[in-house]
A and B are shown apart, each in its own frame.
Chain A
């Protein structure tokens, strides 16, 4: 999936707009007035290479790939401060989610960005058990991103285990086959398109 599909900026903008427009109030993204309320409200914008406002400007300038290769969208914690404050009614958190999905799909991420790996480990856990098995997810994430992170996490994990707050075995729901069948329907429809 990641890195397998090649895409240029024009295609990226087209897919982005189509996906955003398919969500409730998605058309508002066209009405951004570049006021910067989102950037001023964002708790992580201080660490971003480009602010959330600038990401919209990048989109308008046809430079979405460049925006995705910066750290900006990967620093969005989904706190929805921008969404509730945007005077144009843009659901900027959803826009950020869409950009994360595009970056993951096309392998457009800054060097060393590990959010796609975490997300994929999370999805695998849900595919396998129907629920997120935290321990399994973190093991897979560590395997994908390098063992050093796992070594760092070990004391934390052992402490949580001793406190009865870490599970060593997953719990599989009875309807896990149903969850997989539902996902399969969506994937088949996606392929048919």
Chain B
């Protein structure tokens, strides 16, 4: 199984643990991720808020480069997933835009014919690799660990054809494959506030606070995300969110790739488990989780 991989900007900095663990897990599963050569920014939310044509044009450079590689383009950021899919849709449905973008691409010797399928790694793991193989690779079954699967927005809205936009379930399958208990998490598709964490902090603290509070109320040991921005929003501001909501809302927040990697017995440093703001090591200690809980 070979795919072209679009890491996205976040994986170079705040999303380093996500990138490391995604590569390690894919390696373990025999999923080859070949980086898209010289990829650029997808033109995400902040860019789209100033320029639509420019955002879709720079997005299309990635699609044109990916087309040269052949095969599906795999992303791990839900923002990139949304924008690259949007570029694909707009180019297919708007002849004017397609012409404009084609002229811009031609200036740098590129052309895009609309053949690249943009897919999220969650989709690839569940629908191409399959739950059976995800389960078969488990060496450290996470029995007793209670995980709240947080899909967020742009994984299933508006383009995630592989999942339900209101009640997404595909991420649950990955959590279940590790042997962990999938916590019923009714806010799993509610928004984390995205980049409003910077511009409208007080509102985003409330949104994140509701997500953390629900996970705690439901008895989760941790939350699992599929987007680097959701991950940072949920994990990295827990002090101020707790203060704003006047409640202790601290909780480990991992990416689904870190959870899988832990279940596959991969070393913590390969998964970036040592780079988390909220410590996660205790989640995976070979402790008798189920027994301890049963005894208490």
Residues of B with C-beta under 8 A to A174: 38
CB distance from A138 to the nearest CB of B (A): 8
Partner of A182, one of B93, B97, B108: B108
Q: Contact between A118 and B46 (Cβ–Cβ < 8 Å)?
A: yes
Partner of B41, one of A74, A80, A131: A131
Partner of B196, one of A75, A123, A167: A75
Residues of A with C-beta under 8 A to B61: 175, 178-179, 182
Check B294 for interface membership: any CB of A closer than 8 A. Answer: no
Give Cα A77–Cα B197 distance, bound, in whole angstroms.
10
Residues of A with C-beta under 8 A to B169: none
CB distance from A75 to the nearest CB of B (A): 6
Number of A-B contacts defined by CB within 8 Å: 188
Check A160 for interface membership: any CB of B closer than 8 A. Answer: yes
CB distance from B120 to the nearest CB of A (A): 15
Give Cα A178–Cα B105 distance, bound, in whole angstroms.
9
CB distance from A48 to the nearest CB of B (A): 9
CB distance from B296 to the nearest CB of A (A): 32
Give Cα A122–Cα B195 distance, bound, in whole angstroms.
11
Q: Which of B9-17, B139-147, B174-182, B258-266 contacts A (4 or more CB under 8 A)?
A: B9-17
Q: Would A84 and B104 be within 8 Å (CB), given that A118-B199, A123-B51, A167-B13 are in contact?
A: no
Give Cα A141–Cα B198 distance, bound, in whole angstroms.
10
Q: Contact between B94 and A22 (Cβ–Cβ < 8 Å)?
A: yes
CB distance from B222 to the nearest CB of A (A): 17
Give Cα A118–Cα B111 distance, bound, in whole angstroms.
31
Give Cα A102–Cα B44 distance, bound, in whole angstroms.
18
Interface size class of A (residues with CB under 8 A): 35 or more
Q: Count the B residues whose beta carbon is within 8 Å of the partner chain — how many?
A: 65
Check A47 for interface membership: any CB of B closer than 8 A. Answer: yes
Check B122 for interface membership: any CB of A closer than 8 A. Answer: no
Check A37 for interface membership: any CB of B closer than 8 A. Answer: no
Give Cα A43–Cα B153 distance, bound, in whole angstroms.
11
Check A154 for interface membership: any CB of B closer than 8 A. Answer: no
Q: Contact between B12 and A171 (Cβ–Cβ < 8 Å)?
A: yes
Contacts A44-B203, A123-B54, A131-B41 supplied; 8 other A-B pairs, CB < 8 Å = A104-B49, A115-B49, A116-B50, A126-B40, A131-B40, A134-B9, A138-B198, A175-B108
Q: Could you list some 29 contacts between A and B, CB below 8 A? A: A23-B52, A23-B94, A24-B89, A43-B190, A43-B193, A44-B196, A74-B200, A77-B207, A78-B45, A78-B194, A79-B190, A79-B191, A81-B191, A83-B158, A104-B50, A119-B46, A131-B9, A131-B12, A131-B40, A132-B9, A159-B277, A160-B13, A163-B276, A165-B16, A171-B12, A182-B61, A186-B54, A186-B57, A189-B100
